[in-house]
Structure 1
Amino acid sequence: MKKPFLTVTLLLLSFLSVFAQNNIEEKQWHKVDSLLNSYYQPGTPGIAMAIIKKGKTVYSNQIGLADMEYGIPITDSTVFHIASVSKQFTAFLAVLLEKEGKLSMEDDLRQHLPELKQLPYKITLRQLANHTHGLPNLFELARLRGIGIEDRMTHREVVQMLLNIKKINFKPGDKYEYNNTGYVLLAEVIERIIGKPFQEILKDRIFTPLGMMHSMAVDNSSLIVKNKAHSYRLTNGEYENYAFNIMVNGSSGISTTINDLSKWAINFQHSENQEIFQEMQEKTTLNSGKARHYGLGLEFKDYKGLKVVFHGGGDAGYRSYILHVPEHRFSIVLLGNNNDFTPLKIVYETVDLLLKEYQKEPLSPKKVNYTTQELKRFEGTYKMFPGTYFNITAENDTLYFQSYGTHDKAPLPVIGDGDFLFPYIPTSKFSFYENGFNFHIADFKYDCKKVKLNAPKSKDINLIEYTGIYKSTAFNTVYELVIKNNQLIAVHSFNDNIDLHPLSKDRFYSNKPFFGTLDFVKNEKGKIIEFQLSGQNLNSIKFKKIY
């Protein structure tokens, strides 16, 4: 008589346990819903988000419009451009082909792309994928030619531009410098080895096996992408189209849905190819022995005691992010079509909501208040990139930021222990160390070193000797340097005029990152024969004086 009673009791307890568990999860999802609703509203560009746990999608939600002109909402079938999240697909393919014996990640790039035989050093395929190759970045090279992201440039046109590179920014392996050139060239290597278009290789080796039937690599902005989310930005309180037309494969280019990208996250959680993903998560070691927490298309760090593996992407108004917490087989996938930093906030706030019990809160800073005298040690001029300089000053117990050569200054609120918020760009801060600081912007970190500048006035320099027409034969573009209102100006057929300011004799700078500093070179007779241009992800590109 007791057995049936015991059985019924156990079944009831089991039911109540499942009910309670479902009830707890339901409350969790309501919290995530509230989080999304706090950032996005109907009638505006928005996001698609999914949460994957132990190989299953346990949460999916979409908010906002894919097309504002026709009022088409974002759904789980909406296709987004995922920008740099594409890099992990290229890296996966490269390592997969290495396992199959079709290439080695230690191969010399020049072996596969003989057009680059003039490069002075061996660059390995691994260095292409971990951003230690030293090659100039494709977007800055395009800007030099007057091509912005809104201008049309196909993948094939970008490849042809990159195959004309003759110089590198630094010896391969000496530095980590994130850019897109390495992955475009890696995709070209893969394409030549397999003998098929890169788009077909992705489809055959990744998309079709995983059932990602609504994913494709787009190499030309003229291609029609069904159910496409359009790119937008908010300007002066109004949304406008934010075109993105430079299409490249390898570093970017994949268009996909939230459902398809969730399948890629599930593949990461319990893939038969764990050996490949493990290699993609190995730290990058520089020639100096210093390690960087970037592997092959994947980054990793400690976040409040949790080991997270992640990568983000952003082109024009498109935003994408994948974050994994491997220990808990937990992933978040997010896609958006508005050019803000909200997706980054949402991903980490969701981790805080759902995995709080496993987190360790960071220690509170010891030093949160500074006197003017204490802040004086941070004062100085700092170089971020060639031509990009900041002044840091202290007064009234407050640290101030100022772009070099300007008069306006902005306060930097204290976070603590040498960290200061940079509230003018979301998710940004300055972390000071002796004679430098790290400028954190989202997942990026830029090292800014203290420098001494004593720039002369333009009126004290003979500007006439710098005027003339200068040409880069490698990238087939021409600038004319002229004088207007006692100011040296670089004039280009497509770019806006660029004001040049003297840093020292025979050296000028501008406030354009792609046109940072110009070092003029003279012959034995003292006549200028060229200038060498350096900037963000560019170093010593020669422009010969032709007139």
Structure 2
Amino acid sequence: MKRFFAALALGSCCIGGNASAQVSPNAGASLDTLFNQYLNDGPGAVLIVSRNGQQLFHKEFGYASLEHKVPITNETVFEAASVSKQFTAAAVLLLVQQGRISLDDDIRKFVPELPDYGNKIDVRMCLTHTSGLKDWRNVTYLSALPTGQRLFNQDDAIDMICRQSNLNYKPGTRYSYTNAGFDLLGIVVERVTKKSFAAFVKDSLLTPAGMKHSAFRNRFEDIIPNMASAYYGPVTHLRHGYTTDETYGAAGLITCADDLRRWNEFINKGKLAQTRLQRYVLISGDTISYAVGGVHVMDFDGIREISHSGLLSGYRALVLYYPQYDISVTYMTNNKNIITADLQVKIFEILFGKKRKAAIPAVQTNYPDVATLQNKTGAYYGVEDESEFFSFHISNNKLICHEALLQPVGTNEFIYETTGYRFSSGGDTLIVKRGGEETWFRKATSFKPDAAALKPFTGAFYSKDAIVELTFELRGNKLVAFRNGYDSVVLTPAYQRGNQTAFRGFDHGLRAIYLFTQSKKGAVNDCTINLPRANYIPFSRSKSK
């Protein structure tokens, strides 16, 4: 393990004469303590905190290879995963600066094979996850071997993106994280520059930034010097995480924490520094946190944070920059168990001595009576993301969400851990607040069928969008979806609304809502499957052979 920190440098950090811009004097020691919990005979990480190019804190620990007990060093490289997006964004912004692309250009100008969905999808939307395009990786979860379990290359990605017959929503109206836009932009860079994406990024960004240990990957079988193996699972039973992937744009960068430190210095003080921070303004007029530079730009108690994290296989990455302080934080790990979202909050609180999470409302001592709870029971479906579903019932005079006991914070408001549930007075709508974001739900009719009522939903259904056929069969009183004789998903009745009946399940661990449509005569010929980031995937009943 290597460790270095300059406590005095952190403690005296004051930028631009702003006397209030002080960093906690004990930040170095606190960061060291934070990572002590992960010091074991297992995978590890590298964390670097720097200011104006000078390293203030540097910690390396754990093994790059558990099999051979190779320690992680400053030169150990990892998958950057979605941190790669800011490199793709920078490549696009360079082309914009050169007048070769406009952020207002229709993406179909460069990728004409993408269907015309009736509404323009421009380059800016692809950079900010506001295009409405489905996340193609999630669509593959409906197949027997989804992403992560079989090799996908760039051609596979573009094919899956372009075969989607509809969008998640009208472009420009919402933010929904999707890898599709950035994978398309990887192709745009190649078609405009007439160079491979990897070569253009290396020549235009990596080399000028001094990132000597970084490159976008080529073949997944390639031997990469100093590459850490990835691990996931319980500490007592860790498993290998493999990256069988040859796509680029949304991910694909191989790098080390020290190179990312150089990147933070280069990109946040270079010619794209201001342009990359332009956040997208939705058609409604609301400004989202995601900017055209492939980063989140957020303010916490007057402190601006530019950030992005990444997760792929057992690798995680985190890049933070605080412009008022000129402080850079870069972190890479081969241990999936160290959650970067939690780490991001803790690092902020250690550096600046401020609590970032909103205070949790106080729980009431008196629980609402059963009569008050009654109109809150039943099924609720997501308005913006139809893969989301909540079911509430009363047990021992208390309101239960699935299996979780909710605590009251008001007559119509409840909380479970840090998630808030606010019902309308009539119980017909629900707002769920998670991580400061509010999500709307509507009430539907609960559905508890017997075997006879499930019969119309049986049979084979095919999707051109997902390139898969699912066969729904009865197993006792359960409806089960099969891809083949051994690969199946047990479906649980969820709700009914009008002529639609919904079931819920988990396919390869990903939540899914199977929404069947019945004709007036009761025939079921259509099914739509809703996944996170990929709603409205159409299936039609297969014709009899």
Residues in 2 aligned to 1:189 and 1:20: alpha-carbon distance in whole angstroms: 45
Query: TM-score, normalised to structure 2's length?
Result: 0.84
- The answer to whether the 8 Å contact 1:284/1:294 transfers is yes
Go from structure 1 to structure 2 and tell me whether the alpha carbon gap of 1:363 and 1:247 turns closer, same or farther (over 3 Å shift).
closer
Residues in 1 aligned to 2:268 and 2:202: alpha-carbon distance in whole angstroms: 21
Go from structure 1 to structure 2 and tell me whether the alpha carbon gap of 1:20 and 1:370 turns closer, same or farther (over 3 Å shift).
closer
Show the counterpart of 2:462.
Answer: 471
Report Cα offsets for 1:119-163 as digits up to 9, x if no partner. Answer: 332111111111111111112211122233232222332222222
2:240 matches 1:214:
no
Go from structure 1 to structure 2 and tell me whether the alpha carbon gap of 1:220 and 1:412 turns closer, same or farther (over 3 Å shift).
farther
Residues in 1 aligned to 2:29 and 2:394: alpha-carbon distance in whole angstroms: 46
* Counterpart residue type for residue 318 of structure 2: Y
Residues in 1 aligned to 2:438 and 2:314: alpha-carbon distance in whole angstroms: 23
Residues in 2 aligned to 1:63 and 1:90: alpha-carbon distance in whole angstroms: 30
Go from structure 1 to structure 2 and tell me whether the alpha carbon gap of 1:20 and 1:59 turns closer, same or farther (over 3 Å shift).
closer
Deviation at 1:27? 6.1
2:281 matches 1:285:
yes
* Equivalent residue runs for 1:489-528 within 5 Å: 489-493=480-484, 496-502=487-493, 503-504=495-496, 506-512=500-506, 513=510, 515-520=512-517, 522=519, 527-528=523-524
Deviation at 1:315? 1.7
Report Cα offsets for 1:269-294 as digits up to 9, x if no partner. Answer: 422x1xx3323222221112222111
2:391 matches 1:401:
no
* Equivalent residue runs for 1:56-455 within 5 Å: 56-148=54-146, 149-235=148-234, 237-271=236-270, 273=271, 276-296=272-292, 297-356=294-353, 359=354, 367-373=362-368, 379-380=376-377, 381-384=379-382, 385-392=385-392, 400-402=400-402, 408-410=403-405, 420=415, 422=417, 429-430=419-420, 432=422, 434=424, 435-440=429-434, 445=437, 447-455=439-447
Structure ID, larger Rg: 1
Deviation at 1:307? 1.8
Residues in 2 aligned to 1:482 and 1:473: alpha-carbon distance in whole angstroms: 21
2:47 matches 1:46:
no
* Counterpart residue type for residue 498 of structure 1: V
- Residue number among 535, 539, 543 corresponding to 2:535 in the alignment: 539
- The answer to whether the 8 Å contact 2:310/2:316 transfers is yes
Report Cα offsets for 1:316-337 as digits up to 9, x if no partner. Answer: 2211111111111112111111
* Counterpart residue type for residue 323 of structure 2: P
Residues in 1 aligned to 2:58 and 2:280: alpha-carbon distance in whole angstroms: 34
2:451 matches 1:459:
yes
- The answer to whether the 8 Å contact 1:115/1:164 transfers is no
Report Cα offsets for 1:378-424 as digits up to 9, x if no partner. Answer: 9444434435322346778976431xxxxx43556989x968454xx
SS at match of 1:294: strand
Go from structure 1 to structure 2 and tell me whether the alpha carbon gap of 1:201 and 1:398 turns closer, same or farther (over 3 Å shift).
farther
Residues in 2 aligned to 1:218 and 1:362: alpha-carbon distance in whole angstroms: 37
Q: Which has the higher helix share?
A: 1
SS at match of 2:208: helix
Show the counterpart of 1:5.
Answer: none
- The answer to whether the 8 Å contact 1:430/1:440 transfers is yes
Residues in 2 aligned to 1:518 and 1:58: alpha-carbon distance in whole angstroms: 54
Show the counterpart of 2:18.
Answer: none
Residues in 1 aligned to 2:516 and 2:7: alpha-carbon distance in whole angstroms: 70
Deviation at 1:93? 1.2
Deviation at 1:82? 1.2
Go from structure 1 to structure 2 and tell me whether the alpha carbon gap of 1:197 and 1:320 turns closer, same or farther (over 3 Å shift).
same
Superposition RMSD on alpha carbons, in Å? 3.2
- The answer to whether the 8 Å contact 1:36/1:346 transfers is no
Question: Structure 1: any 5+ residue segments left out of the alignment?
Answer: 1-18, 403-407, 423-427
SS at match of 1:516: strand
Go from structure 1 to structure 2 and tell me whether the alpha carbon gap of 1:521 and 1:97 turns closer, same or farther (over 3 Å shift).
farther
- Larger deviation, residues 174-183 vs 150-159: 150-159
Residues in 1 aligned to 2:340 and 2:93: alpha-carbon distance in whole angstroms: 29
Show the counterpart of 1:10.
Answer: none
Show the counterpart of 1:7.
Answer: none
Query: TM-score, normalised to structure 1's length?
Result: 0.83
Deviation at 1:352? 2.5
- Larger deviation, residues 386-395 vs 182-191: 386-395
Go from structure 1 to structure 2 and tell me whether the alpha carbon gap of 1:250 and 1:105 turns closer, same or farther (over 3 Å shift).
same
* Counterpart residue type for residue 431 of structure 2: F
- Larger deviation, residues 52-61 vs 360-369: 360-369
